[in-house]
Amino acid sequence: MIPELGHFALILALVLSLVQAVVPLVGAQRNSMALMAVGRPAAQGQFFFILFSYACLTWAFITSDFSVELAATNSHSATPLMYKITGVWGNHEGSLLLWAMSLSLWTVAVTVFSRHLPEAFMARVLGVLGLVSAGFISFTLVTSNPFERLLPGAGEGRDLNPLLQDPGMIIHPPLLYMGYVGFSVAFAFAIAALLSGRLDAAWARWSRPWTTVAWVFLTAGIAVGSGWAYYELGWGGWWFWDPVENASFMPWLLGTALMHSLAVTEKRGAFRSWTVLLAIGAFSLSLLGTFLVRSGVITSVHAFATDPKRGLYILALLVIVIGASLLLYAMRANKLMGGGSFGLVSRETALLGNNVLLTVASASVLLGTLYPLFLDALNLGKISVGPPYFEAVFVPLMTPVVVLMMFGPFLRWKDDDLVAAVRKVAPAFIASVLIGVGVAFAVDHVTWRTVLGLSLAAWVVLASIQLLVGRLKERAGASASSRLRSITASWWGMWLAHLGIGVFIIGVTMVGSLDRHLDVKMKEGQRAELAGYTFVFRGAVEAQGANYDAARGQIELSRDGKVLDMLTPEKRLYWAQGMPMTEASLNIGPFRDVYVSLGEQLDDGAWIVSLYYKPFISWIWMGCLLMALGGIFAAADVRYRRMAARDAAVASGRRVAASA
């Protein structure tokens, strides 16, 4: 009964999403307040029904109702409660429902936090979001009904894929989805602006905090996913350039470009046309990511579906969204011209350069991800594009991005003097090259990559310090605390996020240059050495989890005769699917991780053990965290709220004037 209620609620949500899509759009066109006012309650009602529907599905999982096919294939009565709940989205149908729910959550957030928007603009934003929502809910209902019954019901479930039974999987998908779907808000704002023909600084200011928050979610989601892959897949890598990772990385790159382009549009009125295109592009790439991940064209741990009908549906959705928005863009392009002019050497130029490079980077990922699929689809042979390609492309593309990133904040808007700017950044630059070369020699790993990475990272850190000091000196005479307070939250956001890039580069460079790896056969009592650490194998014991049996290795980690830790990597066998899985064990430190995983047991009782030494790897995620934190600061800037209050006052004034 409860699953049917959930199904019914989802149908109601679809009806409401159609209402939300059509009525306010018509209202905005006809300038009818009554019609426009329908958007808000429709969006909120839709959220209620999706939430209810989602709760019903979760209920089926929690109570192990295996007459629901989805629960029977993705849960098990012995699965821990937490993984019963997360199992709801650990499959194609449920994850679509999560997608629709996050979209609805974003929409409701817009209705709550953007009350100050002009009615017609708000109506159009809600209309566009309603259209997207209708597309996805109908997709779910038509091709992937999560409430499908199984007749007769199964006695026991087949359990969730063991790889997904992990704490990282509790937060990775919701974060990532909030990020993906969040770009639909930026998209809706851009389309609404195109429809109204009003693409000015105000539009950019309205759109900015939403874009930034979506970007924060996406950054955090990608970071958590990368961390999960690192400790869960058991071979110590943190990024594999897997098509599914690329699917989330492409919108991130374009979203980063969009954030910066919006800044120019807000401050200087320039780049309007470009900003709109980026908003359309970022959301299209989010949809493409969903298509790649959910259509089954890629086989990976993420690909649940292999039904071609589903792939076609998303592809059709994608074509409609891109086609319609580009058509609208072409029709309104004449209104997008103009904006503030700027000189050759200016902050605008630096940001434009970064935008171009980030877009090319995004396109290069798109090429590497899609080209093999095209060849395969056209039966022209099978190829794969691996990490070497992406590394060959990303180092040269991202190096100028970082250089421009360090230049930009020192440049003035509109026009600046190149010589003066170079003079400003030169000392830090020279010091960084010296530091980079020095450290490379100190760690005895002198390759151009190491020197480049370390120098860039040192430059980011030094330039950040210089920027902060310069900013504090601006108000000479004021007290230290008032100087600090004079810095806006959005400036701190920029500063933190850029510093995060530096920290990230340190992590990537160090782990890329200095990591050590050893596969070794170990018998009880045997020892191995790696990077100054001693590993003693104390044998393996049998252990049991809630829904698996395991062999748990006991590996004593020591350095210079001092025992540091007892590492317990596991080889698990999950009952329901009879699926073996490796669970690595880590000794985590601020400057290095020691990582151990069990291979297989040989006939003579010895085990194959993989030992890894990963210097500075946690800095990769610390860097991402700083970036996300920077985004939070930027979005929380008091300016947005102050201007919102002003917009609201203007709007209510307009309403009073209209009714008088």
Partner 1 sequence: MKARSKRLMLVGGGVALLIAAVALVLSAFQQNLVFFHTPSEVAEGKAPVGKTFRIGGMVEDGSIAREADGVTVRFAITDTAKVIPVTYKGTLPDLFKEGKGAVVQGKLEAGVFQASEVLAKHDENYMPPEAAHAVEQAQQAAKTLSQ
Q: Contact positions toward partner 1, by CB under 8 A?
A: 161, 163, 234-235, 299-301, 341, 343-344, 349, 352-353, 356-357, 360, 363-364, 367-368, 371, 381-386, 388-389, 392-393, 396-397, 519-521, 577-582, 597, 599-600, 602, 606, 608, 610
Distance in Å, CB of 525 to partner 1, minimum: 16
Contact by Cβ (8 Å): 87, 61: yes
Shorter beta-carbon distance to partner 1: residue 146 or 368: 368
Shorter beta-carbon distance to partner 1: residue 35 or 584: 584
CA distances from 237 to 136, 228, 361, 505, 581 (A): 34, 10, 22, 16, 17
Computed over its alpha carbons, how large is the radius of gyration of the chain? 27
Distance in Å, CB of 304 to partner 1, minimum: 10
Shorter beta-carbon distance to partner 1: residue 12 or 367: 367
Beta bridge partners of 528: 535
Q: Which of 400, 183, 426 is CA-nearest to residue 289?
A: 183
Shorter beta-carbon distance to partner 1: residue 107 or 248: 248
| Backbone phi and psi for residue 535, each to the nearest 5 degrees, phi listed first | -115, 125
- Which stretch of DSSP H or E encloses residue 334? none
Distance in Å, CB of 245 to partner 1, minimum: 14
Phi-psi region of 157 (alpha: psi -120 to 50; beta: other; left: phi over 0): beta
Q: Which of 574, 640, 625, 573 is CA-nearest to residue 600?
A: 573
Distance in Å, CB of 97 to partner 1, minimum: 21
Shorter beta-carbon distance to partner 1: residue 340 or 589: 340
Q: How far apart are CA 651 and CA 636, in angstroms?
A: 23
Q: Which of 57, 88, 183, 92 is CA-nearest to residue 132?
A: 183
- Evaluated on CA atoms 87, 88, 94, 97, the torsion sign reads negative
Shorter beta-carbon distance to partner 1: residue 300 or 482: 300
Distance in Å, CB of 348 to partner 1, minimum: 9
CA distances from 10 to 3, 57, 394 (A): 11, 11, 43
Shorter beta-carbon distance to partner 1: residue 569 or 630: 569
Distance in Å, CB of 303 to partner 1, minimum: 8
Q: How far apart are CA 194 and CA 17, in angstroms?
A: 22
Q: Which of 506, 412, 411 is CA-nearest to residue 456?
A: 506
Q: Which of 111, 110, 104 is CA-nearest to residue 130?
A: 104
Distance in Å, CB of 552 to partner 1, minimum: 16
Distance in Å, CB of 582 to partner 1, minimum: 6
Look up residue 21 and give its amino acid.
A
Shorter beta-carbon distance to partner 1: residue 265 or 359: 359
Contact by Cβ (8 Å): 300, 243: yes
The total of other beta-carbon atoms located within 10 Å of residue 210's CB is: 25
Q: How far apart are CA 615 and CA 514, in angstroms?
A: 7
Shorter beta-carbon distance to partner 1: residue 465 or 602: 602
Contact by Cβ (8 Å): 609, 571: no
Collapsing DSSP states into helix, strand and coil, what is residue 149? strand
Shorter beta-carbon distance to partner 1: residue 195 or 581: 581
The total of other beta-carbon atoms located within 10 Å of residue 37's CB is: 16
Task: Establish whether the linkage from the previous residue to 152 is cis, with ω within 30° of 0.
Answer: yes
Distance in Å, CB of 533 to partner 1, minimum: 19
Distance in Å, CB of 625 to partner 1, minimum: 28
Shorter beta-carbon distance to partner 1: residue 56 or 352: 352
Distance in Å, CB of 169 to partner 1, minimum: 14
